[in-house]
Structure 1
Amino acid sequence: MKYRAVALLVLFVLALVAPALAADPAELSGRIQKRYAALGAFSAEFTQAIRNAASGDVEQRSGSFVFKKPTLVRWETVKPEKELLIVGKDAVWDYFEEDKEAYRYSVEEIINSKTMLRFLTGKANLTEDFLVVAGKAEEAGPGQAVLQLAPREPEPGLVMAKVWIDLATDMIARIYIQDFYANTNDLTLSGIVANPKLADSLFVFTPPKDARVHDNTPAKGRDLK
């Protein structure tokens, strides 16, 4: 499937429920989860470095991310090419402006798959699904903590992750993940805003008339109008 932003998004969402570095990760895990559970919405800018292990090439990406409960997401990449991922109420859209290609998926497919969106929607259990250990203190920036996550049942898209936590806000500042093939994705957040007022229209997408639409929703769930 050609929805790169989905893969990046679901890796990002896992970090939203991760605990901070401390002697008692379980206690801090509850603190971080409580923080995000209390948020109705948040937004942030992001920069990203995606490294291909086989070639050694690194792609630099940047853009913005917006989330509104229960499962509304707007992930917009502006560099190096424009890509818009919308997780709406009725469908998931991934649109590539330069190629004029729009890919449609069912919300259930994304939410119910083994992705980090399960954490965002409260359908996953961190302590049951992952082993959480303290990261190296020297890797943390000022006012930050680092931790490392290992899935109890690793999947090709995620075998290891590290997260950096802003201890002043109990929110995630950076995420680094590695897949089975040693490819890495390093995402840094900035300008985080908690509980901004977001219109539902931000999470609605209508493909441009000149866009080629690829409908990957189950046949029974398609709207063919």
Structure 2
Amino acid sequence: MRHLQRSLAILLAFNTAAVWPVIASAAPAAGQMTTQVAATEAQATTSLNALLNKLGSLQANFSQTTKATAPSKQVASSKAGLKSSHLGQTFSGVMQVKRQGLFRWETTSPMKQLIVTSGKTVWIYDPDLQQATRQTLDEQMSNTPALLLSGNAAQIMKSYKVTQPNNAIPYFVLYPRAKDGVFESLAIRFEGNIPTQMVLADSLGQQTTVVFSDAKLNPVIANSQFQFVPPKGVDVIDQ
């Protein structure tokens, strides 16, 4: 269940820029010298906004792995974060998003779990437990990384400080303006107009990397994909 909660934190929550030096850099062409120049916040915000405005819907496979990055925080992590048995384990599945605010995150391996939001209600379904949790997508929950893929671009800029370590590379690191959020930073990398990787660092000393593959930009996705009806016999818990 903690993996499911972790996915929800990424989905609804989705360090310094030096944490990602490999991602943030690119090798220059032979015989050429390049100088890495960081974008200003205004430039980074404009660049990210332009990419997000092209994203009306997205479907992709995902691979999600969490690791501990701060040994001094492992005690807190064991209580509030992932169990040690889940750290380093890779979860995979299929993700679909659609503006405004529609999101489906279905884990298929090594276990089956589902998170679906219609924009107003979030369903968390664990078929192994025969249990579904229903939550209201309130303002606090909507002020989260999920906004990057399924929300309002203007609200994103209001909620996050956007940085771009290299203005020539579509890689951004976002820091929440609110000090009481569940994460400290969120990095997102694009190839072309498609997000290919998200890296989330939280206050528990855990870092979650989500890699997207076989992504389809702006596919036709039926709204029914973002509706959930609990199967017969499933316990429903309201929170």
Q: Structure 2-normalised TM-score?
A: 0.71
Q: Is the 8 A contact 2:44 2:164 kept in 1?
A: no
Q: Is the 8 A contact 2:54 2:193 kept in 1?
A: no
Please show how residues 71-86 of structure 1 align to structure 2 within 5 Å: 71-86=101-116
Give the number of the structure with larger relative contact order, counting CA–CA contacts within 8 Å between residues 6 or more apart: 2
Please show how residues 33-112 of structure 1 align to structure 2 within 5 Å: 33-52=49-68, 54=74, 55=84, 57-108=87-138, 111-112=141-142
Q: 1:154 to 1:58 in 2, by over 3 A?
A: farther
Q: Is the 8 A contact 1:131 1:152 kept in 2?
A: no
Structure 1 counterpart of 2:63, which letter? T
Q: 1:90 to 1:160 in 2, by over 3 A?
A: closer
Indicate the percent of aligned positions where both proteins have the same amino acid: 23
Matched, 1:126 2:157: yes
Q: 1:69 to 1:152 in 2, by over 3 A?
A: closer
Matched, 1:205 2:228: yes
Q: Structure 1-normalised TM-score?
A: 0.75
Q: 1:148 to 1:203 in 2, by over 3 A?
A: closer
Deviation at 1:156, TM superposition (A): 5.1
Q: Which residue of 2 aligns with 1:215?
A: 238
Structure 2 counterpart of 1:211, which letter? V
Deviation at 1:196, TM superposition (A): 0.6
Q: Unpaired runs of 5+ in structure 1?
A: 13-19, 138-142, 217-225
Per mean C-alpha deviation after superposition, the further-off stretch among 77-86 and 120-129 is 120-129
* C-alpha distance in structure 1 between counterparts of 2:227 and 2:65, whole Å: 28
SS in 2 for 1:70: coil
Q: 1:148 to 1:91 in 2, by over 3 A?
A: closer
* C-alpha distance in structure 1 between counterparts of 2:204 and 2:136, whole Å: 28
Q: 1:171 to 1:154 in 2, by over 3 A?
A: farther
Please show how residues 140-155 of structure 1 align to structure 2 within 5 Å: 145-155=170-180
